[in-house]
Amino acid sequence: MKLRRTMMFVPGNNPGMLINAGIYGADTIIFDLEDSVALSEKDAARHLVYNAMKSIRYSCEVAVRINHISTPFGYKDLETILAVKPDLIRLPKAETAADIEEIDELITAAEIKHGFRPGSINMMAAIETAKGIRNAYDIAAASPRMVAIAIGGEDYLADLQTSRTKDGKEFFAGRGQLILAAREAGIHAIDTVFGDVNNEEDFIAETTRIKEMGFDGKSVVNPRQINIVHEIYAPTEKEIDHAQRVIAAYEESLARKSGVVSLNGKMIDIPVVKRAQRTLAYANAVGKNERGTTL
């Protein structure tokens, strides 16, 4: 199981953070060439990220958020960064499938030029407008390289002409559409950043809420947020124990060639078995399934 619980943004114009980005334990680090980099530093940041990726072997998935290809910087970002083979290109402000298809073609050409394995560079897109949300499935399914879609909070709220509230109701429609699109396309759904790094209480509440909605992970902006997200996403011992007993009961019914599965007198249907399988797969991925039970 591929985990993308935390995708941590790292400003591309900060050499110290580029060097140390891999030590904090995020599932993915995203070197940012877009919003965190001033216009006057775009070229310098692009080359800093290029040199960091060329000289440092990071132990986690490495993504680069390029500038949109409608800006003067997007094509330059791709030409430079694709030469050092990122695991993932993150496109901001995606609104249509055509955005994804054009970058897919550029990545394919770069893989041929540099001798990389075809299809070895993945893509994800951040959706930050109402139009993008309306086209979320088309964006998610536009290329086999697509592995995730994310919602970009501040631009999305500006487009909706609203602002953040404590309980996040302004995101409800967008997050719901994003989850549906990601699940239909079979890729990950990633939530937006929570910028107030000193407000741990609301960060925990928001992360718990988006996990319950079905998001696979969250974009983060500070290493202090990583372990909080991972703890929220980790299955509890009680959940793991229940999943193991469900799978054991299911396997016993298969051995008896019985179509009826029950546990402690309660009938178990296939969706329950599938949830148990996912819980154990997740526990295995985070090293919490000590019995090694799988299916």
Residues tagged in the binding site annotation: 65, 128, 155
Residues tagged in the binding site annotation for substrate: 65, 128
User: Facing residues of 88 across strands?
Assistant: 63, 122
Residues tagged in the binding site annotation for Mg(2+): 128, 155
